[in-house]
Structure 1
């Protein structure tokens, strides 16, 4: 099946996909701040450059897009109809890299939390999810 847009247009569309400061990530950041969590953003010193690094709790948070990181069973985990071998390889490599980064972080003694795009509804909901991860700590409200 041929692509419905030109090669140049497709390239521009893919280049516009953001890796940082996405809408789901911004909701997670607002929720974390609201409950008193303080964090660093996209710290290059860590494998995978986690979206949020919470040094006080030795925890990192990844806000993963379901399409790019292949959230199992999710309706957003679709596959393009064209250039299938490229996309299969791309998705496989993304999953391998994610697993390797998570394992490296765990070996370094960090707790890894992965939040999926489809699970992030609003600030209040994600604040409740984050509270569950930080129950028993002194700061989260």
Structure 2
């Protein structure tokens, strides 16, 4: 018999917290987007790099085939900052494990399709992330000719 996973939030406070979590336009994402834009690069926001793959990257550079993901420490299991949930621990541990598996699968699929994937953690310094993005995008453009 398979144990049924608990559905929904364990309390009204948890429900409220979960609803306030954004899928896009987070503070770290906005900071990176502003800085990349200020440096002259243009990109698509929250777009699918591959139309047939139901995965969206935070920034997508179509011409140079670069997909940028800015991962949240809790949702993607940051080795430095992720802490397990005290309530509904098994559910959340499984959720984060599945997110990480999906991230690895996404990276593999995009790479096989000729894309370069950049992943950063929400806690990384904006300027360091921006420098990495600019370097990769410019290198890819130089290779294209």
TM-score (norm 2): 0.79
Per-residue deviation, 1:59: 0.5
1:90 aligns with 2:95: yes
1:132 aligns with 2:135: yes
Give runs of aligned pairs for residues 1-141 of structure 1, distance below 5 A.
7-44=11-48, 45=51, 46-72=53-79, 74=80, 76-119=81-124, 121-122=125-126, 124-136=127-139, 137=141
Contact 1:47 1:101 (C-alpha < 8 Å) held by counterparts? no
Count the aligned residue pairs: 129
Which structure would you say has the larger RCO, counting Cα contacts within 8 Å and 6 or more residues apart?
A: 1
Contact 2:120 2:129 (C-alpha < 8 Å) held by counterparts? no
Distance (whole Å) between structure 2 residues aligned to residue 17 and residue 36 of structure 1? 30
TM-score (norm 1): 0.81
Once the two structures are superposed, what CA deviation does each residue of 1:86-125 show, in whole Å capped at 9, x if it has no partner? 1111111111111111111111111100011111x34x44
Which structure 1 segments of 5+ residues have no match? Answer: 1-5
